[in-house]
A = this chain, B = another copy of it.
């Protein structure tokens, strides 16, 4: 059950078998059925999660009622609202399962406990946050400099598997364009081949 998780951890840092077991035992498994929510706007995010099965979208609804996807999380991805979780304030995000899914959740208290008991865990999360940080910077630059066509092509190349599990509505909400326009982009690309 925590196989994927241990593998993921060992990709970032080295831990003894004991430390691994100790850390993994702090997680609780949760099933989330398709279309159900792991979290909704206004709630305080009580967990940091690791997806072991399925697919989630993390999104925001703006004042005009439009949805923007911050990121998708499939198997082997971490998922949380870092702002709400860290600062214990109401979230502005929704986390919804796009397929029947399973996550391993760790509470803030248990995470703090792990930081103290296994100092290398602090490094784990620092390294992970840095990686996300780099990806976010990359995305800002891409959003500023690239046209929607190019961002769509990049998305397919970067996440070919994920792409196949998503509808155009979801992809458009990630790229920041209307799904109608995405449809026109798809036609243009198809006609070029």
Which A residues are closer than 8 A to B by beta carbons? 60, 62, 64, 66, 68, 70, 82-83, 86, 119, 122-123, 125-126, 129-130, 132-134, 136-137, 139-141, 143-146, 176
Contact = CB atoms under 8 A, between A and B. Distances in A.
Nearest to A119: B119
B136 A82 contact: no
Given A129-B130, A134-B82, A137-B83, A66 B122 contact: no
A102 B18 CA distance: 48
Given A126-B122, A129-B130, A137 B62 contact: no
Contact of A68 (B64, B125, B145): B145
Contacts of A119: 119
Contacts of A86: 130, 134
Given A125-B126, A129-B133, 9 more contacts: A64-B145, A68-B141, A70-B140, A70-B141, A82-B130, A82-B137, A83-B137, A143-B176, A145-B176
